Structure 1
């Protein structure tokens, strides 16, 4: 199950301004508008994407991800942001993001790749290329450039920006902000940075502080490698109960040997709600069952708690941006294709 920090969601909503009902938008995503901005509170990635897609129905979101990326500050990322600032040079900063990104998100990984013209800082994010994911990718790439500008002692711009999805009618705003060519419909989501910029000393580079922060981040990584026991147990209980319809929180809590109130509190400690956990469990089960041809679409719908196949189809399209039938067809084609070497 993939999660992202609510910090990103709050930044997106704030950047949208008065064009949307900010309070209602946050509440629909399961975020308390009145609560402090706590980056450690997470929401499911699918919920985040749905929120962005709902915003896109109300306002023009062409420039929104760049605005959000530009607004990100090193301090927003806690110890990870401080480790970025304290690294001796930009390449070391990027290497720390490559290593410790899981502290902040379970949906994105990063890779540094040497090229003749420079070094690619590559963003990897799995999943259907739905609008919410595309907007999130653009914001993430813009964030990388914004953070680079904050530590670079001279004006910084990458050599070029690569984005896999189709671009807007005009990319003038993107290129003006990034300060370089932006290529949509590319093979990668990445920022190409020159060797010179990568080796340039950071303004606040401090090796002593850097070692301390990396030790702290290593500890954080250790903590998140194993999913919280209560979350894993709850997910299993929900999965087993789904064939009988939508599970009731009281029944799941009782099966785990705790009160509903204690159960809610334990989930909230991990930035989760019972509703979001049930939704994510349904989606994961649906994806797995659809990859097995022995189950009809009606059977898959029943096994994950839907009384009607039409309701399942609508939910699945909301989750992944495609229908169950189309998803199954694509997965079966991929499974039958010869394995390819990744470069």
Structure 2
């Protein structure tokens, strides 16, 4: 006979209580639809049942994570009763996995939206760029009733969390639009979505700089497995980083070297001051010299592997005045010499 030790008690939740009680009430309603008792989930989330009767009450992001995770497993429904059929545990992880091999965020989000339609046709999701703004739009194809707000907010926040995670970037919103009227807890939306929120709008949507759609997908299967251990963090907490400027600088260095001779030229091309350029790169954990080196390294490696051009010519193409300084820099970047990289390759046409 197997015996199981009781699980250690969870620590008392900390953090600011910003999540409205209306979302807890929506989860309780999902339990009621299934004829199940929500008390175990409330206990897991350290939420007193009497707090459900306090419309002004709030809970922390950690409480929401505990409550939602318990409810999704108990109901075997990651949609928590929003849709006409359940989304079994693991559904949203499957959507993310289908997007991992996308070359960039635009393709990844298009896949995510398309595959979401295979899980349920109660809503339709679509990403479209226009005049430099990307819009992730959610269209209700069936009335979501009393769970409308919780469903729409959760799906949009999950999509944004996935986008941020796939690119390892914090994607700031230009605007959030919602078709429903401002709820009594409308002040919570300053935390749920950054940027302005427009209620009574024609559509449900998230709007952000379309430049993010070109960011490469940076995650793999191993990263996905780690993320899925606490996947709800993508929905209940904002992402921590923003690498858009890093990617813009990297792209400019690679595609427009004529604007990259010095920081002043590069900053002017990006409509920034040189001081702001250096400051923002530092905030994103990078430096202009690091990015220059990375672009030079990638170009040099590409030329070494794809062509048989002389080392001296490659050195010149990647911006070095002589072969010796290029070889020294290449060894510092890769731990190898240019000749060593080529030594095991078959001859290729130049």
Whether TM-score is above 0.5 comes out as: no
- Could you state the TM-score of these two structures normalised by the residue count of structure 2? 0.40
- Could you state the TM-score of these two structures normalised by the residue count of structure 1? 0.40
Q: Could you say which structure has the larger radius of gyration?
A: 2
With a CA cutoff of 8 Å and minimum separation of 6, indicate the structure with the bigger relative contact order.
1
Structure 1 or 2: larger helix share? 1
